[in-house]
């Protein structure tokens, strides 16, 4: 029972931290967290973690009890995807709207889940992903260089994570791989022009609209499996959809991201009998 309460508490804290894309929102969420837990059980501030040395991925579980799943979890992410090993799966419904862009370059864990060390774009409400009766709202997207998931054992130069959350707090992430090509991808130039240079810097242009649909591939077949956040606290039961088609950017475009954030990939984790389905995302607008 005590264990159950503890895991509930961790979940509550995680969900309150999740989505804290602006200082104002963060303040509100922290207030909500204080109301939902009494002071004697309040969780400590998340511990700093990184990608190298003493606070690197192999040490995450030891840094804080809140990060235990990073070591003990049996359904962790990322994984190696074996293209030949997938089974045919289900259909998801995708509805992406235009949004203003709010791009932040964050270093510390307490700013948001899954963007401790990345460039993240927060989006306006209204874009969603539906699976059966459950609707996940798109909250933010961010980048990893090189890719976190591997394809038949190989890393790709970059991976984008589109993070969605349902009203019950559960998460679904669409992953998109990037490859190097000769032609510049015009759709990404706008995002690149907004990339902050300094950690902690945030750029918001409410008047400029971004069509997120243009930032994902046209073929919507996706590898689907159940995994976790790829950063502490490595929370499990995350629905992962990794798009099969890749986006091509020039070497310079990829460098605009990798020079700021890379390397920020967690090593691949054991599959542990999980299956990977080939699902399809259908656009409904
Ligand atoms: Zn990520």
pLDDT tens column, 202-260: 777 666 777 888 888 989 999 999 999 999 999 999 999 999 999 999 999 999 999 98
17 pLDDT more than 60 = no
Q: Is 59 known to be catalytic?
A: no
- From the CA of 187, how far away is ligand 1's center (Å)? 21
- From the CA of 156, how far away is ligand 1's center (Å)? 14
Residues 6+ apart with CB under 8 A from 54: none
What pLDDT is stored for residue 44 in this prediction?
55
- Pick the catalytic residue from 117, 161, 215, 224: 117
- From the CA of 274, how far away is ligand 1's center (Å)? 20
What pLDDT is stored for residue 263 in this prediction?
93
68 phi, psi to nearest 5 deg? -55, -40
What pLDDT is stored for residue 112 in this prediction?
37
- Judge contact between 191 and 33, C-beta under 8 A: no
271 pLDDT more than 50 = yes
179 pLDDT more than 60 = yes
121 pLDDT more than 80 = yes
Task: State the Cα–Cα distance between residues 232 and 48, nearest whole angstrom.
Answer: 9
- From the CA of 241, how far away is ligand 1's center (Å)? 12
Q: Is 240 exposed, middle or buried (0-12, 13-18, 19+ CB in 10 A)?
A: buried
What pLDDT is stored for residue 78 in this prediction?
98
Torsion sign, CA atoms 130, 134, 137, 142: negative
156 pLDDT more than 80 = yes
Output the average pLDDT for the chain: 80
For domain 47-283, is the CATH number 3.10.200.10? yes
- Taking the domains of the chain in order of start, what are their residue ranges? 47-283
What pLDDT is stored for residue 188 in this prediction?
87
- From the CA of 285, how far away is ligand 1's center (Å)? 26
Q: How confident is the model at residue 199 (pLDDT cuts 50, 70, 90)?
A: confident
- Give this prediction's pTM: 0.81
Out of 9-13, 31-35, 129-133, least confident range? 31-35
Q: How confident is the model at residue 161 (pLDDT cuts 50, 70, 90)?
A: very high
Q: By percentage, how much of the chain surpasses pLDDT 90?
A: 52
What pLDDT is stored for residue 190 in this prediction?
82
What pLDDT is stored for residue 116 in this prediction?
52
9 pLDDT more than 90 = no
């Amino acid at each position: 029972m005590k264990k159950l309460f503890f895991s509930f508490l961790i979940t509550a804290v995680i969900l309150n931290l999740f989505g804290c894309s602006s200082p104002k929102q963060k303040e509100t969420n922290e207030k909500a967290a204080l109301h939902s837990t009494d002071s004697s059980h309040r969780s400590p501030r998340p511990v700093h973690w990184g990608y190298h040395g003493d606070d690197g991925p192999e040490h995450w579980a030891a840094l804080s009890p809140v990060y235990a799943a990073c070591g003990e979890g049996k359904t962790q992410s990322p994984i190696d995807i074996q293209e030949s090993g997938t089974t045919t799966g289900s259909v998801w419904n995708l509805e992406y709207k235009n949004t203003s862009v709010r791009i932040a370059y964050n270093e510390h864990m307490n700013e948001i889940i899954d963007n401790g060390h990345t460039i993240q774009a927060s989006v306006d409400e209204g874009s969603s992903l539906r699976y059966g009766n459950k609707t996940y709202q798109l909250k933010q997207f961010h980048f990893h260089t090189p890719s976190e998931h591997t394809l038949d054992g190989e890393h790709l130069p970059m991976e984008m994570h589109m993070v969605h959350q349902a009203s019950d707090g559960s998460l679904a992430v669409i992953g998109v791989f990037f490859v190097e090509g000769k032609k510049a991808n015009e759709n990404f130039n706008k995002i690149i022009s907004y990339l902050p240079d300094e950690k902690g810097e945030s750029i918001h242009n409410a008047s400029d609209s971004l069509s997120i649909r243009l930032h994902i591939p046209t073929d919507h077949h996706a590898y689907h499996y159940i995994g976790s956040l790829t950063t502490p606290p490595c929370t499990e039961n995350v629905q992962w959809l990794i798009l099969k088609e890749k986006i091509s950017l020039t070497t310079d475009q990829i460098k605009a991201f990798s020079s700021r954030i890379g390397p920020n990939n967690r090593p691949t984790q054991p599959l542990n009998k999980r299956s990977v389905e080939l699902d399809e995302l259908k656009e409904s607008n």
